[in-house]
Amino acid sequence: MSLIEFEKKFPLVTNIDSSVKVIIGEQPYKQSLNQIPFLVDGTSSNISIYQTTGNISFLVSDWVKVQDSLEMIFNLLFGHQRSLYALAFLRDMNISPIDFAQFLWEKARVILVNRYVGNNDNGIDIKAFIEKYSKDSIAHILFVGNESENNFPSPSCKFTSAIAIHPSGNNLNHENRRLRYYDNWITCQGNLLKDCNALNLSTFRVFQ
């Protein structure tokens, strides 16, 4: 019921693109608060890539804290004006991160996954997932941070891709990174994406 209310409050864009949209982070959160780990365990998800990697990237357990990465990903999905409003609604309605990740996949074909979990490089598994669901369409792959893209195995299907600057607020301490950060994560124009292969950030704007 809560997700039904969520979709009423935050409707998807009209004629949403049904192609697979994968946002690949570097590794899970290491922090915790009041003994609640920030990382979201994906093993109970019914989405195969989350079961395989054991993790859902960027989202935070119980929405206990709005991390920089979480807020910036929501900027991309909802737009800067609505991102924090959406996060507050998810928390208020007790919608779990796992349920929200399921919603993103079923409704918008968005996957949030980490390249590295523990000592495992999930590149091959992510590639296989992309290929499985992109046989008749173009996949869109956004690498978040350089390490997420490092020697990533190229999918055999058609795809667009690019590397966004890591959304950690630490990057704002470097003057030469601020403009790129603003472009990638605040306006989400994508003019300053790195190694851009025809990817358009507007593809990931799946909510009105």
Q: How many domains does the chain have?
A: 1
**What CATH code is carried by the domain that includes residue 14?**
3.40.470
Residue range(s) defining the domain that contains residue 95 = 2-204
**What span, in angstroms and rounded, lies between the C-alpha atoms of 133 and 20?**
7
Q: How many CB atoms lie within 10 A of CB 190?
A: 19
Model confidence, pTM: 0.96
Note down pLDDT in tens along the chain; length 208 residues.
699 999 999 999 998 989 999 999 999 999 999 888 999 999 999 999 999 999 999 999 999 999 999 999 999 999 999 999 999 999 999 999 999 999 999 999 999 999 999 999 999 999 999 999 999 999 999 999 999 999 999 999 999 999 999 999 999 999 999 999 999 999 999 999 999 999 999 999 999 9
Output the six-digit token pair for 165.
């600057």
Q: Which residues pair with 12 in a beta bridge?
A: 207
**What span, in angstroms and rounded, lies between the C-alpha atoms of 26 and 148?**
5
Q: Give buried/exposed letters for 116-148 (b at 16+ CB in 10 A, else e).
A: bbeeeebbebbbbbbeebbeeeebbbbbbbeeb
- The reported pLDDT for the residue numbered 19 is 97
**What span, in angstroms and rounded, lies between the C-alpha atoms of 15 and 21?**
15
Q: Give buried/exposed letters for 64-92 (b at 16+ CB in 10 A, else e).
A: eeebbbbbbbbbbbbeeebbeebbebbee
Q: Answer whether 38's CB lies under 8 Å from 167's CB.
A: no
Output the six-digit token pair for 9.
């409050």
**What span, in angstroms and rounded, lies between the C-alpha atoms of 59 and 87?**
10
Return the SS3 of 146.
helix
Residue 149 CB contacts under 8 Å (≥ 6 apart), including other chains: 24, 143, 161, 163, 195
Placement of tokens 């190229």 in the chain: 154
